[in-house]
């Protein structure tokens, strides 16, 4: 029976066609032997946007210690998880890895906190969203291909751009999560040609869950290592109710309370779950061992559930649904809530986040008054703007491209 199951599992095969390999603008590669998805991966790896992630906040501030992950280290970890999971599920591993490498390219300084600030000041021009900014970077801002005087960004394949699109819709004026700006609609519609609805392509679903797994697990590791989370408190009842409340309210609104309530005890009962941490060599090894177990556990559960489902159902890449067990979802959601309670809502955090948002708003205001301070790329974009909306988008593009340190420097220059 086990052998038969393995045979059925291996029936998932993802096929790619010339349609998937097509680029918005035809280009002439130097080495014609290199495969399209390998070329896409290389273009992202060599991009300036990826390098800048090394100086952008993931969750903990970059100067909080020598340990915290940056957006770049997080991105590399997502890429490793996504590549292996995608390959096990029959996808092209280079395609999935590239989608994972792109997933945070559009994030501005100061993480999601900076994203909220830029969205507030961009509502009059169609909003700001990190994933929409990623699409804009890949198709317009990242300098690689110029066609008829217009930058086409990295000019990636249709399949790679689709796999990199986490939210395949634009801003509706209400939902703050969206995947492209109105001014980038032409390329988006080319990417989604012959597709109807707002469902993510199969590889984008893998990228999305790899991101969830990486930051839910690694943010807890960072929090423990920074002594913001004492793992022993999770074994008391004092904080458990608040963790469960946050999980239901913010991360798992569609799950039953019973499923959520079982998730935390299930994790804490694992023999490899860290129960105390004093920072010595043994504790560091146990903590790293816990993160490895968590990643292996979540990915194997998703892999097995998906393979089992498609051993009984027909598989189509455009319509396929990654199967994430409810219990796995609940555990990931609970871990996000732990980080929110002990890191994002810790004493003094709100004031710190407010200051970061103020810095970005001051930079936007300063550049609106002094557009000559724009970098040459964005100064050119500002100069050819056809209207005030396009001009402001150039400023927002500039601010989103900044690192944490360069945003602080500009704010100091404008307001002292």
> Domains of the chain (ranges plus CATH)?
18-191 (1.10.3210.10), 202-350 (no CATH), 354-415 (no CATH)
Answer yes or no: is pLDDT of 346 > 70: yes
The mean predicted confidence, pLDDT, of the chain is: 92
Residue 359, pLDDT above cutoff 90: yes
User: pLDDT tens digits, residue range 138-161?
Assistant: 999 998 887 787 889 999 999 999
pTM tops 0.75, yes or no: yes
Q: What was the pLDDT predicted at 157?
A: 97
Q: What is the pLDDT of residue 185?
A: 97
Q: Which of 87, 130, 112 is nearest to 215 (CA)?
A: 112
- In DSSP notation, 125-166 reads GT---HHHHHHHIIIIISSS-EETTEE-TT--BHHHHHHT-S
- What are the residues whose beta carbons fall under 8 Å from the beta carbon of 413, sequence distance 6 or more? 366, 373
Answer whether 16's CB lies under 8 Å from 35's CB.
no
Rounded to whole angstroms, the Cα distance separating 396 from 106 reads 11
Stretch 254-265: mean pLDDT, rounded? 95
Q: 81, 210 in Cβ contact below 8 A?
A: yes
Closest CA to 139 of 188, 95, 203, 71: 188
pLDDT > 50? residue 8? no
Whether 3 has a pLDDT exceeding 60, the answer reads: no
Q: Pick left, alpha or beta for residue 408 (phi over 0 → left; psi -120 to 50 → alpha; otherwise beta).
A: alpha
Q: What are 173-215's pLDDT values in tens digits? A: 999 999 999 999 999 999 999 988 899 999 999 999 999 999 9
**pLDDT tens, 368-391?**
999 999 999 999 999 999 999 999
pLDDT at position 151 is: 85
Compute the distance between CA of residue 53 and CA of residue 105 in angstroms, rounded to an integer. Answer: 7
Residue 7 has pLDDT above 50, yes or no: no
Q: 57 pLDDT band (50/70/90 cuts)?
A: confident
Note the pLDDT of residue 64.
Answer: 57
- The answer to whether residue 68 scores a pLDDT higher than 50 is yes
Q: What pLDDT is attached to residue 11? A: 57
pLDDT at residue 30 tops 90: no
Cα separation, 248 vs 330, whole angstroms: 9
Which pLDDT value is given to residue 330? 97
Longest dimension (CA), the chain: 71
- Residues 6 or more apart whose Cβ sits within 8 Å of residue 360: 108, 109, 110, 114, 117, 118, 121, 399, 407, 411
Cα end-to-end distance, the chain, whole Å:
71
| pLDDT tens profile 285-298 | 999 999 999 999 99
pLDDT greater than 70 at residue 23: yes
Looking at residue 60, its pLDDT comes to 66
pLDDT at 165 over 80: yes
Contact status, residue 68 vs residue 222, Cβ threshold 8 Å = yes
Which pLDDT value is given to residue 6? Answer: 43
Instruction: Using pLDDT thresholds of 50, 70 and 90, give the confidence band for residue 62.
Output: low
CA atoms of 63 and 68, how far apart (whole Å): 9
pLDDT band for position 306 (50/70/90)?
A: very high
Three state DSSP letters for 233-290: HHHCCCCHHHHHHHHHHHHCCCCCHHHHHHHHHHHHCCCCCCCCCCCCHHHHHHHHHH
Residue 323: band (very low, low, confident or very high) from pLDDT cuts 50, 70, 90? very high
């Amino acid at each position: 029976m086990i052998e038969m199951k393995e045979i059925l599992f291996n029936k998932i095969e993802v096929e790619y066609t010339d349609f998937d390999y097509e680029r918005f603008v035809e280009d002439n590669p130097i080495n014609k032997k290199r495969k399209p998805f390998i070329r896409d991966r290389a273009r992202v790896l060599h991009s300036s946007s990826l390098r800048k992630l090394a100086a952008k906040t993931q969750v903990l501030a970059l100067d909080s210690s020598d340990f915290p992950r940056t957006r770049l280290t997080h991105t590399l970890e997502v890429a490793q998880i996504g590549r292996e999971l995608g390959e096990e599920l029959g996808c092209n591993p280079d395609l999935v890895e590239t989608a994972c490498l792109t997933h945070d390219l559009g994030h501005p300084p100061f993480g999601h906190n900076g994203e909220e600030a830029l969205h507030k000041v961009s509502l009059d021009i169609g909003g700001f969203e990190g994933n929409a900014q990623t699409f804009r970077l890949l198709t317009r801002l990242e300098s690689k291909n110029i066609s008829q005087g217009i930058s086409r960004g990295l000019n990636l394949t249709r399949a790679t751009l689709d796999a990199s699109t986490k939210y395949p819709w634009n801003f509706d004026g209400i939902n703050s999560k969206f995947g492209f700006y109105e001014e980038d609609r032409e390329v988006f519609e080319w990417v989604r040609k012959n597709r109807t609805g707002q469902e993510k392509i199969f590889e984008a679903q893998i990228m999305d869950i790899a991101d969830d797994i990486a930051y839910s697990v690694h943010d807890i590791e960072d929090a423990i290592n920074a002594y913001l989370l004492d793992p022993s408190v999770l074994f008391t009842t004092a904080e458990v109710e608040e963790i469960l409340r946050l999980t239901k309210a913010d991360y798992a609104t569609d799950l039953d309370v019973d499923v959520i309530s079982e998730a935390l005890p299930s994790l804490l009962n694992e023999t490899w779950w860290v129960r105390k941490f004093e920072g010595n060599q043994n504790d560091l090894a146990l903590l790293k061992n816990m993160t490895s177990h968590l990643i292996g556990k979540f990915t194997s559960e998703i892999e097995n559930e998906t393979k089992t489902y498609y051993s009984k159902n027909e598989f189509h890449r455009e319509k396929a649904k990654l199967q994430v067990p409810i219990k796995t979802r609940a555990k990931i959601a609970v871990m996000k809530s732990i980080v929110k309670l002990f890191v994002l809502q810790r004493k003094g955090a709100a004031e710190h986040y407010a200051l970061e948002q103020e810095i970005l708003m001051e930079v936007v205001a300063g550049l609106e008054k002094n557009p000559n301070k724009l970098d040459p790329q964005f100064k050119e974009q500002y100069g050819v703007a056809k209207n005030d909306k396009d001009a402001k988008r150039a400023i927002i593009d500039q601010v989103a491209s900044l690192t944490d340190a360069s945003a602080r420097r500009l704010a100091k220059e404008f307001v002292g």
